[in-house]
Amino acid sequence: MQRITILGATGSIGVSTLDVLARHPERYSVYALSAHSRVEELAAQCVQFRPARAVVGSAAAADRLGALLRAAGVATQIEFGEAALCAIASAPEVDSVMAAIVGAAGLAPTLAAARAGKKVLLANKEALVMSGQLFIDAAADAGAVLLPIDSEHNAVFQCLPSSYGRQPGASGVAKILLTASGGPFLTRAVDTLDAVTPEQACKHPNWSMGRKISVDSATMMNKGLEVIEAHWLFGAPADQIDVVIHPQSVIHSMVSYVDGSVLAQLGNPDMRTPIAHALAYPERIDSGVAQLDLTQIATLQFERPDFARFPCLALAFDALRAGGTAPALLNAANEVAVQAFLDLKIGFRQIDRVIARVMEALPHGAADSIEAVMSQDALARGAAENFIAGLAK
């Protein structure tokens, strides 16, 4: 029996993870669940899965959850705050941790899971983008197993040899080809992009996801963050990672080898496939996802990304090449800009301008400690907020 903690249980990935776990009660039990503010949803999950512990974002949320669980007769222990998130990620009772909190808020608990040598199922790409080598080293030092949940990285992982040691050359890997749907604005006239609403930006053609990653998909910053994520997971330099637009989201990514072979992983676009793959790895279990029928899809298309349409993708490649804390600055500026867009404070095309301004204004430094990364994250958030306040005047 594998015991699982889900960080971010009420989110899109968290709910899909619980859906897979519920199909295999003989293999998995839920040790702990976390949510930030959606207390009612978390309470319903606790009633169904009976975790030993549950963590929320505030004392008030903990009180509300306590009242709901007492009324339901559920004896889950309730805690709140970041230290409690780190505790449920690193507790000795836990085998695997699904890291599915969105954004920088997930860094500390995801790192705690890695430092405790857990099997870390990594959905929270922002944590790895920010901390890079520090995260990879922490996982290696503690013997943690890092399994990618992001569909592209899970696909790449499946297309690499099982002996792969983060050295593309040693395995004959020529390129990692990350596919990208291009999001909802792939063909929309560029000069109309400033007028798009958060609802339009969050309406992804193929995937149903949380609002932050949906906006990231519309700007293609999501793919930019994934390029940086691929760099750290697979040890590939920026020049060995290509982005290929593939609007159908059927090929989830590919690896091309020096002998001319290209291996791809295909499937219906449903995150339960990579979640089930990582949960059961190296075995395979039913995920609830329908089998892919290629004759129904009939056509698969591919094109190069247009960096002028998607400046965020270029900014992310720049940050990866700059190294150090540049990806952490990029990530923090993006989180602030996306939230401002969702709050109707800035237009869609101002997201990339805010990020570019922050990257120009702040020199990046060495990413030699988590404290250095977090202080650059805070500086970038402040700079982005100032710039946004200036725009609003």
Q: Which stretch binds ligand NAD (CB under 6 A): 30-38, 171-179, 290-298, 361-369?
A: 30-38
Q: Which of residues 5, 8, 270, 383 is near ligand NAD by CB under 6 A?
A: 8
Taking CB within 5 to 8 Å according to partner kind, which of ligand NAD, Mg ion, none is near residue 207?
ligand NAD
Indicate whether 150 belongs to the interface with Mg ion (CB under 5 A). Answer: yes
For residue 7, the minimal CB distance to ligand NAD (Å) is 7
Measured between its terminal Cα atoms, the distance across the chain in Å is 57
Taking CB within 5 to 8 Å according to partner kind, which of Mg ion, ligand NAD, none is near residue 12?
ligand NAD
- Write the CA distances from 178 to 81, 82, 125, 249, integer angstroms: 35, 33, 15, 11
For residue 320, the minimal CB distance to ligand NAD (Å) is 17
Taking CB within 5 to 8 Å according to partner kind, which of ligand NAD, Mg ion, none is near residue 243?
none
Of the candidates 150, 106, 148, 151, the residue with the CA atom closest to the CA atom of residue 126: 106
Taking CB within 5 to 8 Å according to partner kind, which of ligand NAD, Mg ion, none is near residue 277?
none
Q: Which stretch binds ligand NAD (CB under 6 A): 32-40, 314-322, 331-339, 379-387?
A: 32-40
Q: What gap in Å lies between CA 185 and CA 349, rounded to an integer?
A: 12
Question: Binders of ligand NAD among 35-94, rule CB under 6 A?
Answer: 35-36, 38, 57
Q: What gap in Å lies between CA 55 and CA 84, rounded to an integer?
A: 7
H or E stretch covering 122: strand 119-122
Q: Which of residues 150, 229, 335, 352 is near ligand NAD by CB under 6 A?
A: 150
Both tokens of 185, joined, read: 């604005």
Cβ-proximal residues to 225 (8 Å cutoff; 6+ apart), any chain: 125, 126, 129, 216, 316, 331, 334
Q: What gap in Å lies between CA 221 and CA 309, rounded to an integer?
A: 12
Question: Binders of ligand NAD among 116-145, rule CB under 6 A?
Answer: 123-126
Query: Could you say which DSSP state residue 194 is in?
Result: G
Q: What gap in Å lies between CA 188 and CA 10, rounded to an integer?
A: 32
For residue 110, the minimal CB distance to ligand NAD (Å) is 10
For ligand NAD, the binding residues (CB under 6 A) are: 8-14, 35-36, 38, 57, 100-102, 105, 123-126, 150, 207, 209-210, 212-213, 271
For Mg ion, the binding residues (CB under 5 A) are: 150-152
